[in-house]
Structure 1
Amino acid sequence: MPLHPDIAKALATLPPPPPGPLDPVAMRAAEEAQVPPVAGRLPLHAVEDATAGEVPVRIYTPDEAGTHGLLIYFHGGAFFLGSLDTHDHVARSLAKATGLKVVSVGYRRAPEHAFPAGLDDCYAVVRWAAANGESLGWDGTTLAVAGDSSGGTFAAAVAATAHDDGFDRITHQVLYYPSLDLDFDPGRYPSLRENAVGYGLETAGLKPFNAFYLDSGADPADPRVSPIKRADLGGLPPALIVTAEYDPMRDEGELYGRRLKDAGVEATVIRYPGANHGFVQHFSWIPDYHRVFEETAAFLRGAS
């Protein structure tokens, strides 16, 4: 189907990117300026800011139940954008739809913090959550990791790191249009060519947007950076991979799903027609796309 008309309308209003190199400080400020006030956000039973060790987290409790399963969420933003605030609405929607307590992670970002600082923070919070389950009100069942875009990179890498460490408590991984191959040669996947221009995230922008991360020491050949480079995907948690029809990174997510299945891992891949990269963050107010949260909840219930 064609690009969803509401998405097309929004993209048509975007100004051209400013000339010159990317300015992380200015781009973050512009992103934060779009965050709605707390009064306008989806209400939940409780939302509190805390720290997991030294890592800032925001904990979302959906209802009054005494215990819950846990979902650890990593926001997207090309490893240098995004925050607890810019993705607050995503975490709220996940908590509401799944009934899980969501722990959103304010990991360290490039370029101020070199690889693997952000990944280390994400993994540390998962281990912290498992170790502090009683105080968090964890019911001892679901311990899922989830992320969108570069947050999906972290979710996949955390699941693999945990497996390698013999930490077997992660029950699910949820990857929304994940960035799984940071080798951005446009010849690698058809979607890099088919969706190169006109859909928000453009293929030519992938290298400059990820340059802060790669220049900080993240090697695209390292499976912690490009999870699709991992030779053996066996033994990883069941995966839900959500892709968007008009996303340059669509095909790497779908290939990862096939490789997981080939390795004997339960993997569900859902392509959202008419959607572009970032639709969970930017366009989940569209009913056709808001159902991603219900489908996530169904996956988390069915793959446990």
Structure 2
Amino acid sequence: MPLHPEIAKALAALPAPPPGPLDPVAMRAAEEVHLPPVGPELFAVEDRTAGEVPVRVYTPSAAERHGTLVYLHGGAFFLGSVNTHDHVARSLAAATGLQVVSVGYRLAPEHPHPAGLDDCTAVVRWAAARPDWDGRTLAVAGDSSGGTYAAAVAARARDAVTHQVLYYPSLDLDFDTDRWPSRRENAVGYGLETAGLKPFNAFFLDGGADPADPEVSPLRRADLTGLPPALVVTAAHDPLRDEGEAYGERLRAAGVPTVVSRYEGAGHGFVQHFSHLPEYARVFAETAAFLAGEDS
């Protein structure tokens, strides 16, 4: 299936990137100016701190206790915020009925690895200790580099995490083009391009993150037994497609209940940028069904 026509139209309208090296500060500022529309209205949305980590808590109803989903935004470890992904967190809370905790973890290059991962782990521990957690569901979810962190946190805190949801995750940070067929197949023209993987992740890797470390490249983890059940969502036209699907297959082989769901016509980032399209809005219903233990 070709790229969805609305996605293709949006990509064609994007301006050419400015010349010269990437500027994290300028790119973050541009993101904060061009925020997506606000998502569904909820019972309460509150900015708080989990220890020293800023979080935004999305409460879907007036119930005294809720299950929890800790959400980790994407952005190649140096972009993204609770603001840029506010609509995703809102949609997850509305669809799942869970209280969503969106994490404002520390970003590269100002905060080298493992600062961001430590923040995400700390928030999961904080969520598990909250008196309004229902004691049943404590899921961790993330998109792209947030999916990297979600997979790593699911391993770090497997005693607390009940489910992991990975949206087009980056799981192998060795960016050799020939490591995965999808890096060749989807190299150009679909938004995220294979040639951009190294420069966009350089802020993270140059700060000491080792691609051979399973907390940096979760696909490198030798033993996946005992990890929480997983939903792995991939996009057909994404250079990262094959590593996500390979991780799902390895989880299954290790006895971890796993759903691997490929979205046709989609490219990397569709949950953040194109989930308003009916074909892709169902990702939230699929997530809700998975977390509820239903067939998606």
By the TM > 0.5 criterion, same fold? yes
Contact 2:39 2:88 in 1 (8 A): no
Tell me the SS of whatever aligns to 1:255: helix
Q: Which residue of 1 aligns with 2:81?
A: 83
Tell me which amino acid in the other structure corresponds to 2:172: D
* Equivalent residue in structure 1 for 2:181, among 172, 190, 200: 190
| 1:263 corresponds to 2:257 | no
Q: Which residue of 1 aligns with 2:228?
A: 237
| 1:284 corresponds to 2:275 | yes
Please report how far the alpha carbon of residue 161 of structure 1 lies from its aligned counterpart in structure 2 after TM superposition. 1.1
| 1:149 corresponds to 2:147 | no
Tell me which amino acid in the other structure corresponds to 1:217: G
**CA distance in structure 2 between the aligned counterparts of 1:267 and 1:6, rounded to whole angstroms:** 30
Tell me the SS of whatever aligns to 1:83: coil
Q: Which residue of 1 aligns with 2:237?
A: 246
Q: Which residue of 2 aligns with 1:130?
A: 128
**CA distance in structure 1 between the aligned counterparts of 2:262 and 2:76, rounded to whole angstroms:** 21
Q: Which residue of 2 aligns with 1:15?
A: 15
**CA distance in structure 2 between the aligned counterparts of 1:242 and 1:283, rounded to whole angstroms:** 14
**CA distance in structure 2 between the aligned counterparts of 1:47 and 1:107, rounded to whole angstroms:** 18
Tell me the SS of whatever aligns to 2:262: strand
**CA distance in structure 1 between the aligned counterparts of 2:152 and 2:122, rounded to whole angstroms:** 12
The total of aligned residue pairs comes to 295
Runs of 4+ in 1 over 4 A off after TM superposition: none
**CA distance in structure 2 between the aligned counterparts of 1:26 and 1:127, rounded to whole angstroms:** 33
Which deviates more, 195-204 or 13-22? Answer: 13-22
Query: What are the residue-to-residue correspondences of 1:212-231 with 2, within 5 Å?
Result: 212-231=203-222
Tell me which amino acid in the other structure corresponds to 1:49: D
Contact 2:50 2:126 in 1 (8 A): yes
Q: Deviations over 1:237-291 (max 9, x none)?
A: 0000000000000000000000000001011000000000000000000011000
* Equivalent residue in structure 2 for 1:296, among 283, 287, 290: 287
Please report how far the alpha carbon of residue 19 of structure 1 lies from its aligned counterpart in structure 2 after TM superposition. 1.1
**CA distance in structure 1 between the aligned counterparts of 2:160 and 2:32, rounded to whole angstroms:** 34
* Equivalent residue in structure 2 for 1:58, among 56, 59, 71: 56
Percent identical among aligned pairs is 77
Tell me the SS of whatever aligns to 2:190: coil
Q: Which residue of 1 aligns with 2:42?
A: 44
Tell me the SS of whatever aligns to 1:302: coil
Q: Which residue of 2 aligns with 1:121?
A: 119
| TM-score normalised by the chain length of structure 1 | 0.95
Contact 2:163 2:228 in 1 (8 A): yes
Tell me which amino acid in the other structure corresponds to 1:154: Y
| 1:161 corresponds to 2:148 | no
**CA distance in structure 2 between the aligned counterparts of 1:67 and 1:113, rounded to whole angstroms:** 34
Please report how far the alpha carbon of residue 36 of structure 1 lies from its aligned counterpart in structure 2 after TM superposition. 4.8
Considering only aligned residues, what root-mean-square deviation do their CA atoms show, in Å? 1.1
Consecutive unaligned residues of structure 1, counting only runs of 5 or more, are none
Please report how far the alpha carbon of residue 300 of structure 1 lies from its aligned counterpart in structure 2 after TM superposition. 0.2
Please report how far the alpha carbon of residue 65 of structure 1 lies from its aligned counterpart in structure 2 after TM superposition. 1.5
**CA distance in structure 2 between the aligned counterparts of 1:26 and 1:290, rounded to whole angstroms:** 30
Q: Which residue of 2 aligns with 1:24?
A: 24
**CA distance in structure 1 between the aligned counterparts of 2:71 and 2:177, rounded to whole angstroms:** 29
Consecutive unaligned residues of structure 2, counting only runs of 5 or more, are none
Contact 2:113 2:208 in 1 (8 A): yes
Q: Deviations over 1:59-111 (max 9, x none)?
A: 00011122110000000000000001000000000000000000000000000
**CA distance in structure 1 between the aligned counterparts of 2:293 and 2:188, rounded to whole angstroms:** 37
* Equivalent residue in structure 1 for 2:197, among 206, 220, 225: 206
Please report how far the alpha carbon of residue 41 of structure 1 lies from its aligned counterpart in structure 2 after TM superposition. 3.8
